[in-house]
Amino acid sequence: MSGPDKPKVIGEEWSDERVRSFLDIRPWDAAENADYHALLKAYQAMRAGDFERFIGFFVAEGRDLNATNSEGETILDLISRHRRGVDYAKALEKAGAKKTAAAGS
């Protein structure tokens, strides 16, 4: 976060501990899938390289890369629609993530 009293930090290196901390993020709404939520928050906060590292930790913990949101979409479905999501989508596909049939696999 940046502001008048806190300068924006560009190119900050994320430690493994910081990247792994996103594994502990849980949704406020118990109906939301915890795996999808963690992937979404990591995608929103991380650069592509850090996100790829996160995916490695995520998979190593046995978490579900193909978890869906309330609309039945995987995180890959969502990211694939974003113009700047190409590197994130590649990291997910490399780890075995799939799009849902409804999203056009």
Tens of each residue's pLDDT in the chain, 105 residues: 445 565 544 567 889 999 999 999 998 888 889 999 999 999 999 999 999 999 999 999 999 999 999 999 999 999 999 999 999 999 999 999 999 866 554
Q: Which two tokens stand for residue 105?
A: 């696999």
pTM, rounded to two decimals: 0.83
pLDDT value of position 4: 54
Handedness of CA 8, 40, 88, 85 (dihedral sign): negative
Token representation of residue 66 = 């193909």
